[in-house]
Structure formats: structure tokens, C-alpha cells
Structure 1
Amino acid sequence: MKLSITVIGTGRMGSALAGSLLQSGYPTTVWNRTRQKTDPLARLGAIAASSVEEAVNAGEIIIVNVSDYEATKALLHSDAIASAIRGKLIVELTSGTPSGAREAAEWCTKHGANYLDGAIMATSDYIGTDAGTILLAGPREAFDTNRDVFRALGGNVQHVGEEPGRANALDSALLAIMWGVLFGTLHAIAVSQAEEIELGELARQWSATAPVIDGLVTDLIKRTSAGRFASDNETLSSISAHHGAMQHLLELMQFRGIDRSIVDGYDAIFKRAIAAGHLHDDFAALSHFLATGKQHAFDASH
């Protein structure tokens, strides 16, 4: 017999999670602050709980997908809920910080529950599909025991470590890449429009350029991991080449009245590295000019 699951929070993502569980045959109880949001799931066979306590009591696994950890605290941190979660598995799929995940894990284990903290690396339409990616951190045994449940949520659900903050840390790192691309695209659109370039042309040229950029990102991660910061015969991009091109972009944006706040931040990082004598190093050397305390150690070793 399949485990009973509770999903707390049935916004777009929570509804997708609950819907996939129902489709896979799991008895599913749902709760949402706005009761009407549970109605479509109830029509699919879910039980709509009238309170958080009722929802928690109904499930052997409790999946939480609300706005943030503060919302989770407001819903779960009571004596009644603390008693109800004993012996159960809490799966927190709410966006947050690594420190927030660690605090949540501490509270759950203190009250006798297992805890996995997760990051959903997908939009709601990917939930339940083979490409659906969810990162989970916490006790490996809790993950392995419930693989079938997680498989119902997506074909690429991964255990990324025992430390409960790991999934959210990876989430933040990957979002940093995503936002870099999205804001870069906004800048590209602004430049194209200012220079009267059709956006269809921008899209075509991006398709041709994307594999090059993907290769640069992969190389940057590999070189930083290996500690290869000086330029060598395999360098794909140096600080000097990128800094020179950045000045042209800054000049164009200034001339066209395009907001420079983000690219000025990039330029400030370039200038710190150049002032420290790293103009001709590999682009990977810039990694030492983002983290407090790393720059001096890097300069002392070079």
C-alpha cells in the first residue's frame, strides 16, 4: 500500500506536486490558506484538510511548499504540530537560504521527525516529468527509503548531500547563473532596440553564440576548481580581453541612456583585479575578487 502524503501549500507549484502524487496513486491530503485553491485537487481525488494540524496528522510524509521559511514557521511551529510530526518525514520544498534549511532541520529533528530540504530546479510544468529536477539534502536513508515517492515528482530528483543546507546553496548558485543570463538578455535587448536591430536577428545570433558561451562557463568552472588562474596555452578568455570589450559596452550604454548599474558592478570587479596586478590572468582569476578575504590570500600566493 502506498504511503499517505500531505502537501501544505497549493499554489501553482504545490498544486503540481500534489497533482503528480495523485496521478501516481498516492493518497494525498492538501491544505492551503485560501481553501478555494485546493478545490481542483479535491476534484482529482485529494482530501482537502480544514486545518494544518488535520493535514499533518493525515500524512506519513509532509511536503511543504509555501512562500518562505518564515511562513513554514508560522504554520508548523506550535505544540500541536510538533507532537504530530514525530516519526514522520518533513520534505521542505520552500525557497530559502542554507541557514534557514539548517534551522528547519534542527527544529524537526528536535521534535522526532526526519527532515529533507529541497530545491525545485524547474517550473511547475516540469513536475512529474522525466526532466523534472529537484535537489534534496538531508539523511540519505530518508531519501533512499522514499525514492518511489520522489520519482513521482520528477525523473531527476537527486540527493546532493547529508548537510541540510546543501540543496538551497546549490539552488542559489544555479540561480546566479540563470539571472546573469536573464539580465544579460535584458541588456542585449536594450542595446538592440537602441541600435535598431530587430529582436529576431538577436535571437538568431544568440543561437549561434550560445554554444561558445556554454563552453566558456564550463571552462570557468573547471579552471577555478583546478586552481588554474594564470593564463596559459589553454586559456579561452583573459581578463584583459574581456575588460577591453566591457569598456565598449559601457560607452555604448552611456551614449544610449541604458541603465549601467549591473555592468558597472562587473566593471568594478575587473578594476579590483587589474589594480592587484591580474590584467593578463585567465578570467577565472576574477573569482578571487568576489569573496571577502580571498583576494589577499590569492595575491600573497601569486
Structure 2
Amino acid sequence: MKPAITVLGTGRMGSALVHALLKAGHRTVVWNRTLEKATPLAAAGAVVAPSVQEAVEAAEIIIVNVTDYPATAALLRGDVATALRGKLVVELTSGTPHGARDVGKWAAAHGVSYLDGAIMATPDFIGTEHGTILVSGPRRAFDRNEDMFRALGGNIQHVGEDLGLANAQDSALLALMWGALFGALQSIAVCRAERIDLGELARQWTATAPVVEGLVADLIKRTAAGRLAADDETLSSLSPHYSAFQHLVELMEVRKLDRTVVDGYDAIFRRAIAAGHLHDDFAALSQFMGKAG
């Protein structure tokens, strides 16, 4: 018999999780601080609990998808903690690696099994074969409930026993995403200043995206191998990158565009060049993105 599951937090993502669980045949109990947001799920077959206490008591697995870890703590600590003993809490709230480890310590001290997860998808991907969720924590707890996780998405991955790993990978992947999005915003600003149609930008991006993806893959591979000096396989060294970068800086200066983002890039370039890496592989910059000096 499939375990009953409670979902705390029924915003867009929480509701998507509920629908996926119901589709997979799980008895699903829901709670939300604003009751009106949980009520529509009753029509889909969920049981709406009037309190966190009753929601926790009604299920063997508690999935939490609220604002942040402090919000989770406000819900589960105190009197509710007693009802959690012997049950599994799956935290699918965005957080930090150290935050996940802290919750894990609290859970262990209260006899609660705990897994931490990071959802790498928008709500429309939940319950589909492409839905990706990274999960960290005790492998035994993950394996015992793998069918439940598979109901949430076809690309569910256990990434390690360390409870902080899911959110650590989440932060790393989001850094890649935000780099691309802020780069796109910078590009849009240049296009508008130079009266380039954004449709043309979209077409050119489609053509050049494979080149960028190749550069990112090469950067990760070379950094992992410690191959930071230029060699016969170097795609481009710092020198041509920095030369082209100066053209962007000059254009932005002439057009009076905001330089917040590019000034950050420039500072990293300059530190690397001052340290003698002008003719090394672009991967040499990885040495200047660690701990602040």
C-alpha cells in the first residue's frame, strides 16, 4: 500500500507536487497558511487539513514547500515536532547547504528522518519525465521511498549522503542560469542602444548558442583537470577575450549604459592579468572566483 503523504505549502509549486502525487495514487493531505489556496486541491482528491498538527498526524511522509527554512522551522518545531517522530520529512524549500545540515541535526535530535531536496524545474515539469529534483541525505530513506520521488519527476537524483549537497548543486546551477540571464539583459541593453531589433538578437543567439555551450563545457572540463595554462587544445586565451571585452566597455561608456555587471567582469579580468595570466586559457579565471581576497 502506498504511503499517505502530506504537503505543507500549496503555492504553484506545492500544488504541482500534490497533483503529481494524486495522479500516482497516493493519499495526499494538504495544508496552506492561506486556506483558500489549498481548497481547490480538494476537488482533485486531496484532503485539506485545518492545521499543521493534523496534517502531520495524517501522513507517513511530510513534504515541505514553503518560503524558506525559517518558515519550515516555524511550522514544524514546537508541539508539532512530537507528531513527526518516526516519520520522514522531505524539505523541498529553497535554502542553503548549511541550512539543510542544520535542519538535519535538529531532525536527528527529534527522531525524525530527513531528506533535503532542490527542485530544478518550473511547476509545469513536475510529474513529467523531464522533472528534475536533486535529493541529498540518507540513501536508505531515499531508496525506501523512490516510487514516491519518481511520481514527482522522471529525473530524480540522489546526489549524496551529505544533506547540503542538493542545495549546493542548486546554487551552482542557478549561478549558471543567472549568468546567462544577466548576460541576456546586458545584450538587450546594447541592442536597444544601437537600435538592433530584439528579434534579430534572438535569431543570432540561436545560431551562436552551441558555441557558448561548448565553451562552458570546455571551461568546466579544463578547470576540473587543472589545465589552466594555454595548450594545443585551448579554444581561447584571456588575451583575445579581454581585448573584445574592452570594446563592449567602450560601447557602454559611449552609450551611457549601466556598467554594474561589466565592472564586476572587468575586476576579475584585471586580477588575473595582474597575476600574469593574460596568455593562459580562459579557465585560469577560475582561480579568481573563489574566496574573496
TMscore range, shorter length: over 0.9
Q: Is residue 23 of structure 2 the alignment partner of residue 37 of structure 1?
A: no
| Deviation at residue 216 of structure 1 after TM alignment | 0.4
Name segments (4+ residues, structure 1) moved above 6 Å: none
Report the Cα offset of residue 228 of structure 1: 0.1
Distance 1:245 1:48 in 2: 58
CA distance in 2, matches of 1:99, 1:17: 25
| Cross-structure match for 2:268 | 269
**Equivalent position of 1:100 in the other structure:** 99
2:214 is equivalent to residue 212 of structure 1 = no
Q: Which residue of 2 aligns with 1:233?
A: 232
* Structure 2 residue 70 is matched with structure 1 residue 70: yes
Q: Match for residue 298 of structure 1?
A: none
In 1, Cα distance between equivalents of 2:171 and 2:263: 22
Alignment pair present for 1:178 and 2:182 = no
Which whole-Å deviations, capped at 9, do the CAs of 1:147-200 have from their partners, x for residues lacking one?
110011000010000000000000000000000000100111111111111111
SS of 1:50's equivalent in the other structure is coil
Instruction: Give the aligned residue type for 1:20.
Output: A
Partner of 1:258: helix, strand, or coil?
Answer: coil
Following superposition of structure 1 onto structure 2, how do residues 70-149 of structure 1 map, counting pairs within 5 Å?
A: 70-78=70-78, 80-149=79-148
Q: Counterparts of 1:127 and 1:253 in 2: how far apart (Å)? A: 41
Whole-angstrom CA distance in 2 between matches of 1:237 and 1:10:
48
What is the Cα deviation at residue 77 of structure 1?
1.1
Q: 1:89, 1:209 → 2: CA distance?
A: 46
Note the C-alpha offset of 1:290: 1.5
1:299 match = none
Q: Give SS of 1:62's match.
A: strand
Matched to 2:5, the amino acid is I
Cα distance in 1, alignment partners of residues 146 and 243 from structure 2: 51
User: Within 2, Cα distance between the matches of 1:23 and 1:237?
Assistant: 50
TM-score of the pair, normalised by structure 2: 0.99
Distance 1:174 1:292 in 2: 19
Alignment map for 1:249-260 (pairs within 5 Å):
249-260=248-259
Q: Percent identity?
A: 68
2:281 equivalent in structure 1? 282
The count of corresponding residues between Structure 1 and Structure 2 is 293
Superposed displacement of residue 90, structure 1: 0.5
Structure 2 distance, partners of 1:23, 1:213, is 39
TM-score where L is the length of structure 1: 0.96
CA separation in 1, counterparts of 2:9 and 2:231?
52
In structure 2, distance between residues paired with 1:30 and 1:278:
56
State the AA in 2 paired with 1:154.
Answer: G
Partners in 2 of 1:258 and 1:128 — Cα distance?
43
Structure-2 residue corresponding to 1:46: 46
Q: Which runs of 5+ in 2 are unaligned?
A: none
Paired with 2:242 and 2:55, the residues of 1 have a C-alpha distance of: 56
Which amino acid in structure 2 is aligned with residue 58 of structure 1? A
Deviation by residue 1:61-120 (Cα, 9 ceiling, x = unmatched): 100000000101111111x22111111110000001001000111111111111110000
| Structure 1 residues not aligned, in runs of 5+ | 296-302
Separation of aligned partners in 2, 1:35 and 1:205:
47
* Aligned partner letter, 1:22: L
Structure 1 residue 40, shift from structure 2 partner: 1.3
Q: Give the aligned partner of residue 164 of structure 1.
A: 163
Mean CA deviation greater in 23-32 or 236-245 = 236-245
Q: Tell me how large the CA RMSD over aligned residues is.
A: 0.9
Q: C-alpha displacement at 1:292, in angstroms?
A: 2.2
Q: 2: distance between equivalents of 1:110 and 1:181?
A: 41
Counterparts of 1:25 and 1:251 in 2: how far apart (Å)?
60
**2:18 aligned with 1:4:** no
SS class of match (2:116): strand
The SS at the match of 1:144 is helix
Distance 1:196 1:112 in 2: 62
Residue 164 of structure 1 aligns to a residue whose secondary structure is coil
